[in-house]
Structure 1
Amino acid sequence: MKKNRIDVITLGCSKNLVDSEMLMKQLLANGYTVKHDPENPEGEIAVINTCGFIGDAKEESINMILEFAEAKKNRELNKLFVMGCLTERYMQELKMEIPEVDAFYGKFGWKALIADLGKSYKQDLALEREITTPSHYAYLKISEGCNRTCSYCSIPIMTGKHQSRPIEEIEEEVRRLVASGVKEFQVIAQDLTFYGYDNYKEAKLPELIERIAKIEGVEWIRLHYAYPANFPYDLLRVMRENDNVCKYLDIALQHISDNMLTKMRRNLSKQQTYDLMKRIREEVPGIHLRTTLMVGHPGETYKDYEELIEFVKDIRFERLGAFPYSHEDGTYAYNHYSDEISDELKQERMDLLMALQERIALETNEEKIGKVLRVIIDREEEDYYIGRTEYDSPEVDPEVLVKKNKMLNIGEFCEVKVVGAQPFDLYAEVI
């Protein structure tokens, strides 16, 4: 075990990753050596940043805590701290069940961890982070919390009400990140499209993105986690008029049948959803849409599921993820519906949906063969450089495998010609 080394382990989403990066900057400023997600944890202290979204994520977080608790019992670790969404939600239960943990902190209470180490929080570093991603891209969290009341979702229980960050503060963070070498920003929030309603009393996402786009050195801006109801249509103009705002939108739709949208408390109808998709496609030609869909929500009939399949065939999302409904305690669905659809049927519906999406993804990628695309290079592997187009977000979207016919640098842009396609990858050669 290495003295003064802290291992930080992040589970869950990119919003959690930003929290870990902020904590790591403070720990480094206080004299610690810090490793993020090390293959072999060797520090005398470990911090686990947990996820509490759905069953599988909670199980992964608990197993990770237990693994480190065992290491502490075996004297391979001096101190174990746990923070994040799971602890925000189940603090008392975790304290009782895993007494080996020295301290638990909620999602927003991690600053106390620094004090518990006998160190001080550096206010002058409040906008600074220790970037854990490749140095050319970063996640940019513009708000925290969610005001929506979707039936199945536990996020508001953990994050509380929506809190937008001030525009000027976000701009300053972007400038600092650009100065450190970041070129590409994944703009994230629990709900992007609510940005501004709380502190500016109006939709401010279009203005925010336009202002970020004007900052010198910002090459790509990509938008994640939009909500479809009351969509701020001026955002489409911003995408159209600014070349560095990627023609990409991650907008979670969950379902399409009116029966399901009502039961899920999504605040829009099937027709409104179709109209929204049509308008986005018309106003931003060539846009790639990412969505998330849910199967097996209480009350989902076979007819509802058939409507969902037809919707996917109609819209032909370039990027799509799906997950089975998880009966989460504390949610509206947990308190008002019974989870009557079997896990087997949920899985069957999800598998069929994703098989359909794989065919659509292949056809979408095959349409790119012969085209010249701008790509940013993320890493080098034995046979290929691995890059992404403006239509691809890190970790979740397809990659471009670029033949090594020319020397390329990590973090640089280049133009490539697509020569081959698979459902979730493109093959290309440097022009």
Structure 2
Amino acid sequence: MRVAVISLGCAKNLVDTEVLLGKLVKGGAKLVNDPSKADVIIVNTCGFIQQAKEEAIDTILDWADGKRKVVVMGCLVERYREEMKKEFPEVSAFFGTESWDQIIQYLGLKEVKSSERVLTTPPSYAYLKVAEGCNRTCSFCAIPLIRGRHRSKPLEDLLEEARNLAERGVKELCIVSQDTGYYGKDLYHRKALVQLLKKLEELEGIEWIRLLYLYPTDVDEELLSYLKDSGKVLPYLDIPLQHVSDRVLKSMRRGYSGSFVRRLLDEVMKNLDNVVLRTTFLVGYPEEREEDFRELLRFVEEGYFHWVGVFTYSHEENTPAYPLGDPIPQDEKELRRDAIMKAQQEITFRKNAQLVGREMDLLVDSYDEELGIVPVGRVYLQAPEVDGICYVEADRPISPGEKLKVKVTEAVGYDLKVEVC
């Protein structure tokens, strides 16, 4: 059986896809990259916001043409299973998240008790998903409806998985979950992220550990103290803040204030040398007035962040914010998003320009997409897929997965040009 899997959405969804790929191979399927050459196409969907839902629906419609069996799984099904069954009669079957074994059974493949993830990332890095679900009650967010309550993976299981990744040549672990800083509270009745990081640092072959998706109130003294002296955990923190206006934050149910945000960022920058900060903001929230947006824009212009992502508010049913309506027109939301991104672009370009002449370590990911001959990689301040990249100039052949010492020679917008030292 030839099977193609299309993975949509975030890195956490990608891990689910990689687990499924491993089970498919162990079950006897042949994986193909080109869906048009498959007997079965499995679409792993995202259902977080309207844009993601539209992408998933378009993908399903593209392939559910009667020429082959199409199976749909993931977040969108978890949220709208019955509606999707009615809307897409051409789809053969629907499965929710973490339904790998049911899919194997449905396809009539061999039963799989254990399997190894099929990595779809470059050889330099892989994602390590430490938990599933979220206990937060943020008013705008549908994740708890889709993924359920927070469930940490046992530390021993994560170490075994990370050890396996290291043995396969992975040098960078990107730690992901819906709420990474909350890791361990459900299993061990206390936060255990630092304990996990200590164990991961002991693994031979792992050289970088990157923390993604830290809730602001979990970036505490214990974590910062550990990061300060860590040899492998990068001084790169992804802390989604969503907003800085007290009024909006309160309505969003974020549990902190704008003054807390500033104190936190000052504390982070005081404790961690050369720290790089990434954050995410949400604009066009129902109760975001013009003055709230202006406050957010001024905050961004203060220059705390190297990288910023901006979402426009998506009006999601059954979330606490849903009764507030969706009073801000989409074009106004997009104007606000663009204003934030324009302000941040200038800051990012300036910060990148200041790196010229600096020597840093770099992990080689692959080759440039255009010609396929120029090596591309990342220094510590660049997370995979979401930040800029480095174009590497070298006088010898360079292989994906290599770690190099490089010198920044030029800043080109979001990206950097470097030469091997």
Normalising by structure 2, what TM-score? 0.97
| Unaligned ranges ≥5, structure 1 | none
Deviations 1:117-160 (A, max 9, x none): 223442232xx201111122111000000000111101110000
Deviations 1:77-131 (A, max 9, x none): 1x21110000000000000111111110011323211111223442232xx2011
The structure 1 residue matched to 2:40, chosen from 45, 69, 87, is 45
Inter-partner Cα distance in structure 1 for 2:205 and 2:61: 44
The answer to whether residue 156 in structure 2 is matched with residue 168 in structure 1 is yes
The answer to whether residue 135 in structure 2 is matched with residue 151 in structure 1 is no
Shift of 1:319: 0.8
Query: Could you say which residue in structure 1 is the equivalent of 2:223?
Result: 235
Please say if residues 9 and 52 of structure 2, whose CA atoms lie closer than 8 Å, have aligned partners that are also in contact.
Answer: yes
Inter-partner Cα distance in structure 2 for 1:277 and 1:320: 14
The answer to whether residue 14 in structure 2 is matched with residue 25 in structure 1 is no
Inter-partner Cα distance in structure 1 for 2:287 and 2:357: 46
Query: Could you say which residue in structure 1 is the equivalent of 2:347?
Result: 360
Deviations 1:284-339 (A, max 9, x none): 1111011000111011111111111121122430111101111011111113x021
Please say if residues 196 and 202 of structure 1, whose CA atoms lie closer than 8 Å, have aligned partners that are also in contact.
Answer: yes
Query: Could you say which residue in structure 1 is the equivalent of 2:189?
Result: 201
Query: Could you say which residue in structure 1 is the equivalent of 2:119?
Result: 131
Please say if residues 83 and 110 of structure 1, whose CA atoms lie closer than 8 Å, have aligned partners that are also in contact.
Answer: no
Which structure 2 residues correspond to residues 103-142 of structure 1 after superposition, within 5 A? 103-125=93-115, 128-142=116-130
Please say if residues 166 and 205 of structure 2, whose CA atoms lie closer than 8 Å, have aligned partners that are also in contact.
Answer: yes
Which letter maps to 2:46?
Answer: C
60-69 vs 49-58, which deviates more? Answer: 60-69
Query: Could you say which residue in structure 2 is the equivalent of 1:55?
Result: 50
Which structure 2 residues correspond to residues 252-267 of structure 1 after superposition, within 5 A? 252-267=240-255
State percent identity of aligned pairs.
41
Which letter maps to 1:139?
Answer: Y
The structure 2 residue matched to 1:378, chosen from 352, 357, 365, is 365
Please say if residues 316 and 360 of structure 1, whose CA atoms lie closer than 8 Å, have aligned partners that are also in contact.
Answer: no
| Unaligned ranges ≥5, structure 2 | none
132-141 vs 383-392, which deviates more? Answer: 383-392
The structure 1 residue matched to 2:321, chosen from 311, 333, 337, is 333
The answer to whether residue 94 in structure 2 is matched with residue 99 in structure 1 is no
Which letter maps to 1:275?
Answer: R
The answer to whether residue 408 in structure 2 is matched with residue 421 in structure 1 is no
Residue 212 of structure 2 aligns to a residue whose secondary structure is strand
Shift of 1:40: 5.0
- Computed over aligned residues only, the root mean square deviation of the Cα atoms, in angstroms, reads 1.3
Inter-partner Cα distance in structure 1 for 2:136 and 2:74: 21
Normalising by structure 1, what TM-score? 0.95
Query: Could you say which residue in structure 2 is the equivalent of 1:298?
Result: 286
Inter-partner Cα distance in structure 2 for 1:94 and 1:282: 50
Deviations 1:332-352 (A, max 9, x none): 1113x0211111111111111
Please say if residues 239 and 247 of structure 1, whose CA atoms lie closer than 8 Å, have aligned partners that are also in contact.
Answer: yes
Residue 210 of structure 2 aligns to a residue whose secondary structure is strand
How many residues are matched?
418
Shift of 1:238: 2.4
Please say if residues 28 and 109 of structure 2, whose CA atoms lie closer than 8 Å, have aligned partners that are also in contact.
Answer: no
Which letter maps to 2:90?
Answer: E
